[in-house]
Structure 1
Amino acid sequence: MKVVVTGTRGIPNILGGVETHCEELFPRITQKGIDITIIRRKSYVHDSFQEYQGVKLVDIETPKKKSLEAVIHTFRAILRAKRLHADIVHIHAIGPALLTPFARLLGMKVVFTHHGPDYNRDKWGFAAKMMLRFGERIGCMFANEVIVISEVINDILVRKYGRKNCHLIHNGVPMPDKIDSIDYLSEIGVESCKYVFAMGRFVPEKNFHQLIRAFAALKQQNYKLVLAGDTDFEDDYSRKLKSLAKENGVILTGFIKGKKLHELLTHAHCFVLPSSHEGLPIALLEAMSYDLPVIVSDIPANLEVGLAFDCYFQTGNEEQLQEKLQKSLAQDFCPVHYSMDEYNWDKIAEQVVSVYENMF
Structure 2
Amino acid sequence: MRKPVLTIFYQYNPWHTSIGGIQTLINTFIKYAPSEFEVRLVGTASDSSQTVGKWQEAEFAGREISFLPILKIENDNVRGLIPTTVKYTAALLGRSLSSDFLHFHRLEPSLAAMNWQGEKSIFIHNDIHTQMKTVGDRKAILWRRFPGAYFALESTLIRQFSQILSCNTDAAQFYRQRYPQLQDRVAFIKNSFDNEVFYSLSQPQKEANRRELAVQMGLEEETRFILFAGRLHPQKDPVLLIRAFAALNQPQTHLLIAGDGELANQVRQEIEQLGLSSRVTMLGALKQQELARLHRLSSAFVLSSAFEGLPLVVLEALASGTPVVTTKCGETPKLLNHHSGVVCEQRTPDCIAEALRRVLLNPQEYPSEACVRTAQPFAARTVVRDIYGDMLNRWELKEFSVIS
* Range of TM-score over shorter length: 0.7 to 0.9
Give the secondary-structure state (helix, strand or coil) at the position aligned to 2:91: helix
Give the secondary-structure state (helix, strand or coil) at the position aligned to 1:211: helix
Give the secondary-structure state (helix, strand or coil) at the position aligned to 1:106: coil
Q: Greater CA deviation, 267-276 or 147-156?
A: 147-156
**Does residue 248 of the first structure (1) align with residue 276 of the second (2)?**
yes
Q: How far off is 1:285 after superposition?
A: 0.7
The equivalent residue for 2:264 is: 238
One-letter amino acid matched to 2:31? P
- Whole-Å separation in 2 of the counterparts to 1:114 and 1:259: 26
The equivalent residue for 1:25 is: 29
TM-superposition CA deviations, 1:265-308 (whole Å, max 9, x none): 11111111121111111111111111112211111422231433
- Whole-Å separation in 1 of the counterparts to 2:156 and 2:217: 46
- Whole-Å separation in 1 of the counterparts to 2:153 and 2:250: 45
The equivalent residue for 2:58 is: 50
TM-superposition CA deviations, 1:176-234 (whole Å, max 9, x none): 24575465554444557611111111011212211211211233331111111111xx3
- Whole-Å separation in 1 of the counterparts to 2:363 and 2:5: 52
Is the Cα contact below 8 Å between 1:280 and 1:301 reproduced in 2? yes
Is the Cα contact below 8 Å between 2:244 and 2:348 reproduced in 1? no
Give the secondary-structure state (helix, strand or coil) at the position aligned to 2:231: coil
CA distance 1:20–1:228, shift in 2 (3 Å): same
The equivalent residue for 2:224 is: 194
CA distance 1:351–1:149, shift in 2 (3 Å): farther
One-letter amino acid matched to 2:375? M
The equivalent residue for 1:90 is: 103
Q: Greater CA deviation, 59-68 or 210-219?
A: 59-68
The equivalent residue for 2:401 is: none
One-letter amino acid matched to 2:45? K
Match of 1:38 among 22, 38, 41: 41
Is the Cα contact below 8 Å between 1:94 and 1:115 reproduced in 2? no
1:1-360 matches, cutoff 5 A: 1-12=4-15, 13-29=17-33, 31-43=34-46, 50-52=58-60, 53-62=63-72, 65=80, 67-77=82-92, 80=95, 82=97, 86-97=99-110, 99=111, 102-116=112-126, 117=128, 119=132, 122=137, 123-125=140-142, 126-127=144-145, 129-162=147-180, 163-165=182-184, 166-175=186-195, 176-178=198-200, 180=205, 181=209, 185-190=214-219, 191=221, 194-231=224-261, 234=262, 237-246=263-272, 247-249=275-277, 250-308=280-338, 311-332=342-363, 335-336=367-368, 337=370, 338-353=373-388, 354-355=390-391, 357-358=393-394, 360=398
Q: How far off is 1:77 after superposition?
A: 4.0
- Whole-Å separation in 1 of the counterparts to 2:151 and 2:222: 44
One-letter amino acid matched to 1:14? S
One-letter amino acid matched to 1:89? L
TM-score using structure 1 length: 0.85
Percent identity between the two aligned chains: 18
Higher Cα radius of gyration:
2
Is the Cα contact below 8 Å between 1:152 and 1:304 reproduced in 2? no
Q: How far off is 1:264 after superposition?
A: 1.0
- Whole-Å separation in 1 of the counterparts to 2:48 and 2:307: 29
Q: How far off is 1:88 after superposition?
A: 2.7
One-letter amino acid matched to 2:14? I
One-letter amino acid matched to 1:40? G
- Whole-Å separation in 2 of the counterparts to 1:177 and 1:306: 18
Is the Cα contact below 8 Å between 2:114 and 2:157 reproduced in 1? no
Q: Greater CA deviation, 198-207 or 102-111?
A: 102-111
Is the Cα contact below 8 Å between 1:6 and 1:89 reproduced in 2? yes
Q: Unaligned stretches of 5+ in structure 2?
A: 51-56, 74-78, 399-404
TM-score using structure 2 length: 0.77
One-letter amino acid matched to 1:141? R
TM-superposition CA deviations, 1:294-344 (whole Å, max 9, x none): 211111422231433971112422221121122223335653323333212
Is the Cα contact below 8 Å between 1:245 and 1:251 reproduced in 2? no
Is the Cα contact below 8 Å between 1:198 and 1:271 reproduced in 2? yes
Give the secondary-structure state (helix, strand or coil) at the position aligned to 2:316: helix
One-letter amino acid matched to 1:92? H
One-letter amino acid matched to 2:268? K
CA distance 1:177–1:288, shift in 2 (3 Å): closer
Q: Greater CA deviation, 104-113 or 287-296?
A: 104-113
One-letter amino acid matched to 1:240? Q
- Whole-Å separation in 1 of the counterparts to 2:380 and 2:88: 27
